[in-house]
Amino acid sequence: MKLYSGPLSLFTAKVRVALDEKGIAYELVSVPFSRARGYDPKHPEVLAINPKGQVPVLVDGPLALFDSTIILEYLEDRHPTPPLYPRDVVERARCRQLEAAADEILFPLVFELISEVFYKPAGERDEQRIARARAGIARHYDGLERRLAERPHLCGEYSVADIGYLLTVTFAANLGALLTDAHPRLQAWYGRVLARPPVAKEIAGLAGAAQQLAG
Ligand SMILES: N[C@@H](CCC(=O)N[C@@H](CS)C(=O)NCC(=O)O)C(=O)O
């Protein structure tokens, strides 16, 4: 298996964690990324496979796939053990929805912070946009806090939803939207998920990559 990956790519990080959780060996192809130019120029293989020109891209024999959610589903079908989705069909559907919510509902708010805090120097940032994004993130966390009142992980057992949310929450925190005592269950959940070796390894790798890009 070959994974085209960006050094700071949250979406690729989801796939790397799932591959490690399942013990699947893979070759990592790092695509160019810089703070000044983002993902420009794009890797030719990524452009050839993904019409959106984005990572992650996974190649497994004759199969080439893009979009982290679709890749995670393929990995589960191809390597069902250990499972990263609930077995029950209804719970599985709910869990898929949650995994997608991390990407499509929470991440856009985090992207507002990326645009302001990561790409702009202090002094040129739109503080109102930052405050609005932080408030939206805190409201989203309220929903997760309620969900965690009844279960240790977002879908009961550890799953792709925990992987996606852990990474998104980490990016938010690194950009100043910290997890606070207003969300104690979410804080405890964060510690539980971070204690998993594949997750800890990924978070350490992202921190190292961020330092390298900054230096
Ligand atoms: N929905 C996609 C999003 C992928 C995505 O946004 N990838 C970013 C890196 S994290 C990218 O390649 N950005 C370059 C671009 O959009 O041109 C997924 O889940 O894989």
**Rg (alpha carbons) of the chain, rounded to whole number:** 17
CATH of the domain spanning 2-78, picked from 3.40.50.300, 3.90.650.10, 2.60.40.1930, 3.40.30.10: 3.40.30.10
pLDDT for 143 equals 98
Residue 214 has pLDDT above 90, yes or no: no
- Angstrom distance (rounded) from CA 151 to CA 131: 30
What pLDDT band is residue 193 in, cutting at 50, 70 and 90?
very high
Residues with CB under 6 A from ligand 1: 6, 9-11, 39, 53-56, 67-69, 103
β-bridge pairing 27-30 and 2-5: parallel
DSSP secondary structure of 72-138: HHHHHHH--SS-SS-SSHHHHHHHHHHHHHIIIIIHHHHHHHIIIIITS-TTSS-HHHHHHHHHHHH
CATH of the domain spanning 89-214, picked from 3.40.225.10, 1.10.3720.10, 3.30.1330.40, 1.20.1050.10: 1.20.1050.10
Residue 64 has pLDDT above 80, yes or no: yes
57 Cα–ligand 1 center, Å: 10
User: Domain residue spans in the chain?
Assistant: 2-78, 89-214
Predicted confidence (pLDDT) per residue in 15-30, tens digit = 999 999 999 999 999 9
Q: What is the pTM of this model?
A: 0.97
pLDDT for 213 equals 83
The residue contributing the CA closest to ligand 1 atom 2 is: 67
Predicted confidence (pLDDT) per residue in 128-177, tens digit = 999 999 999 999 999 999 999 999 999 999 999 999 999 999 999 999 99
Residue 147 tokens, joined = 């969900």
pLDDT for 36 equals 85
